Structure formats: structure tokens, C-alpha cells
């Protein structure tokens, strides 16, 4: 989902297979990491993306427990961004809507 200027969610269809692996940039254009995973909830007929995992932590999460054992559980392997902290209007070029310091480190 994307947000309106008032901060209200907007329903929109996203192709996760086209987004996962895309490089995410900060508002200043600095590379932050790649979209590795999303956290979503089921709402009737739709899935609602609530968070995005950016960086190696997303890939580790997608691969599951075995990858976590190999990589270790040390923090600092990525970021967790709320749905409203990521601008996906141009799906080929995801960009943060806030400074990366506002993201949760994971």
C-alpha cells in the first residue's frame, strides 16, 4: 500500500516477485540495501503489507532457520521499514520516505 498526503493507506496491487531484490535508496539517493522480505497480514481477499525487511536480514529471513544458524543472529544485518516508510510509486526504484535513522535496525 502507498500513503496519501494525509497518511491514510491506499489500496494498490504490488507484484512482490518484481520488488524483492530491488535496491532501496535513502531520500538523498544513498544505497541502503535490497528488499529481502515483507511482513503482511491477510484481510479478507487481500494481503496487506505492513513492513519491509531491507538488507541481508531479509534474505536470511526468507531462507529460514538454517541460514540464520550459518549467518548468526547478530543485530545490524538490516532494517525494518513500516509500509509508509517506503515509496513504491516507481517499483523499479524503491526509496525511503524518511531518514534511515528512523528505521528499526535488525
What pTM does this model have?
Answer: 0.75
- DSSP secondary structure letter of residue 100: G
**pLDDT over 90 at 34, yes or no:** yes
Average pLDDT of the chain, as a whole number: 82
Question: Residue 82 forms beta bridges with which residues?
Answer: 51
Question: Mind listing the pLDDT tens digit for each residue in 54-97?
Answer: 998 766 666 665 445 555 555 557 899 999 999 999 999 999 99
Go through the domains of the chain in sequence order and give each one's CATH number. Answer: 2-100 (2.30.30.240)
Which has the higher per-residue pLDDT, 51 or 73? 51
Spatial contact of 49 and 38, defined as CB atoms under 8 Å apart: yes
pLDDT (0 to 100) of residue 67: 47
Q: 99 pLDDT exceeds 90?
A: yes
For cell 535513522, name the residue. Answer: 101
Amino acid at each position: 500500500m502507498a500513503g496519501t498526503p494525509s497518511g491514510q493507506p491506499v489500496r494498490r496491487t504490488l507484484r512482490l516477485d518484481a520488488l524483492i531484490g530491488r535496491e532501496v535508496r535513502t531520500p538523498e539517493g544513498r544505497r541502503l540495501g535490497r528488499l529481502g522480505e515483507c511482513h503482511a497480514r491477510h484481510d479478507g481477499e487481500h494481503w496487506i503489507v505492513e513492513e519491509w525487511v531491507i538488507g541481508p536480514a531479509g534474505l536470511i529471513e526468507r531462507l529460514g532457520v538454517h541460514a540464520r544458524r550459518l549467518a548468526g543472529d547478530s543485530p545490524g544485518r538490516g532494517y525494518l521499514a513500516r509500509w509508509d516508510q517506503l515509496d513504491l510509486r516507481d517499483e523499479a526504484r524503491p526509496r525511503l520516505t524518511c531518514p534511515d535513522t528512523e528505521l528499526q535496525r535488525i
